[in-house]
């Protein structure tokens, strides 16, 4: 399958809807998802979606939910997405291999897979890996589809941070932590996620 610019995997909506249901209930979740995407909870996407649809959903949550609940919903959605990836997308053999490797090598294997499939979660964004001097390995996303056009006082891309952290803590080392160190929504040049193998 080839990349489709401006489109990302449906889990960004499916798992956010599931996290909303768990935290605000069926009625409130339905209102938010329909209002932002035009889709009911019983008609969620099964194919790639326009990244603008995901952006509208994130904006709706930021507007409707208090900051702590907004973060909790997106982090839960990210963890659910990571669970889906491990159950359906990351080969079992690769998962077993990572479990046998030292954390630094396991991280290289995982990141190689992630970087081959950036189009599935980043859409038209540019994703790179950098290791700033004296800092952890960092995944950077420019023109992030989730926070694009937003202006906030704190980092917003909890979905991506939680997805990455859950993958790392499950497949690489339980001590791993992922922290968003820069966010375009706060005026940063990119959304940057520091990948730390020790908390």
Q: What is the pLDDT along the chain (199 residues), one digit of tens a residue?
A: 334 469 999 999 999 999 999 999 999 999 999 999 999 999 999 999 999 999 999 999 999 999 999 999 999 999 999 999 999 999 999 999 999 999 999 999 999 999 999 999 999 999 999 997 888 999 999 999 999 999 999 999 999 999 999 999 999 999 999 999 999 999 999 999 999 998 6
Question: What's the whole-model pTM score?
Answer: 0.95
Q: Is 191 helix (H, G, I), strand (E, B) or coil?
A: strand
14, 66, 68, 184 from 108: Cα distances, Å? 28, 37, 33, 26
180 — phi, psi (to 5°)? -80, 110
How far from 61 is each of 13, 31, 35, CA to CA, in Å?
A: 12, 11, 11
Instruction: Let me know how long the chain is.
Output: 199
User: Whose CA is closest to 180, among 194, 198, 196?
Assistant: 194
Q: How far is CA 144 from the centre of its chain?
A: 10
Which class for 47: exposed (0-12), middle (13-18), buried (19 or more C-beta within 10 A)?
exposed
Residues 184, 155: Cα–Cα separation, whole Å: 8
Task: Decide: 164 and 193 in contact? Cβ < 8 Å.
Answer: yes
Q: Which domains, from first to last, does the chain contain?
A: 7-196 (3.90.1520.10)
Which DSSP letter does residue 73 get? H
């Amino acid at each position: 399958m080839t990349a489709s610019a401006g489109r990302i995997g449906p889990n960004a909506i499916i798992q956010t809807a599931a996290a909303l249901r768990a935290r605000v209930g069926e009625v409130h979740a339905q209102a938010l998802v329909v209002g932002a995407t035009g889709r009911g909870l019983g008609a969620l996407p099964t194919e790639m979606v326009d990244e603008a649809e995901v952006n509208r959903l994130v904006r709706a949550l930021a507007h409707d939910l208090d900051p702590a609940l907004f973060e909790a919903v997106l982090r839960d959605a990210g963890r659910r997405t990571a669970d889906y990836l491990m159950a359906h997308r990351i080969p079992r053999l690769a998962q077993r291999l990572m479990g046998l490797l030292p954390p630094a090598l396991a991280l290289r294997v995982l990141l190689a897979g992630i970087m081959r499939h950036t189009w599935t979660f980043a859409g038209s964004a540019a994703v790179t890996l950098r290791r700033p001097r004296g800092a952890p390995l960092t995944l950077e996303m420019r023109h992030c589809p989730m926070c694009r056009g937003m202006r906030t006082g704190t980092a917003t891309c909890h979905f991506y941070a939680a997805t990455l952290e859950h993958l790392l803590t499950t497949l690489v080392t339980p001590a791993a932590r992922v922290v968003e160190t820069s966010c375009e929504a706060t005026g940063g040049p990119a959304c940057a996620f520091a990948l730390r193998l020790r908390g």
